[in-house]
Amino acid sequence: MSVDHKMDSSRRTLLLATSAAGGVAAVATAVPFVASLTPSERAKAAGAPVEADVSKLKPGEMMTVEWRGKPVWILRRTPEMLASLDKTDEKVSDPNSEEPQQPDYAKNKHRSIKPEYLVTVGICTHLGCSPSEKFKVGAEGGMTADWPGGFLCPCHGSLFDLAGRVYSSMPAPTNLEIPPHQYLADTTILVGDDGKA
């Protein structure tokens, strides 16, 4: 072997070792940088869909989940609650949900996919207050004798029926918002994603 051949072989080994070390260093530097570009867990949670297990929700009960920083109410309506919607049709300002406050699949009398479950954002459309539940019928719930049940916004007195439809002549201009949602199973609702996107 000549001296030139020995030198070329050592140079080649040094070049390969240096290249490998440089490649490892580049990857080690790039991984944290690329990872910093992905959204944080908090950012993901802020807009991410939320699963709600409604298996333990009894008829007449309501639960709240948080989606995009907003309270989302899931109300399991009783047959009596659903029957009350017929009585409020003439009292609400948008009985057929013509205003775009809900996805097309919730543009019906009960404003839901399944009549039994109401899924709505619990924020008044007037000034963003959170209405109170007033499910007890009549004066028993602190309302008028003919009150069929629903929601009351304590800030300025807006009334909503058990489908989240606002009563006529109230400060709230529109019905409560129905968020996009879908059923993953009979008792599991995914709020924030309706599978249409």
Query: Under the phi-then-psi rule, with left for phi > 0, alpha for psi from -120 to 50, and beta for the rest, what region is 153?
Result: beta
Q: Cα 140 from chain centroid? A: 32
Indicate the residue type of 145: A
Please tell me the distance from the alpha carbon of residue 170 to that of residue 92, in angstroms, as a whole number.
Answer: 9
Roughly how many angstroms between the first and final C-alpha of the chain, as a whole number?
68
25 touches 43 (CB < 8 A): no
Closest among 118, 142, 144, 140 to 132, alpha carbons compared: 142
d(CA 24, CA 107): 57
* Phi, psi angles (nearest 5°) of residue 35: -65, -30
Catalytic residue annotation: 156
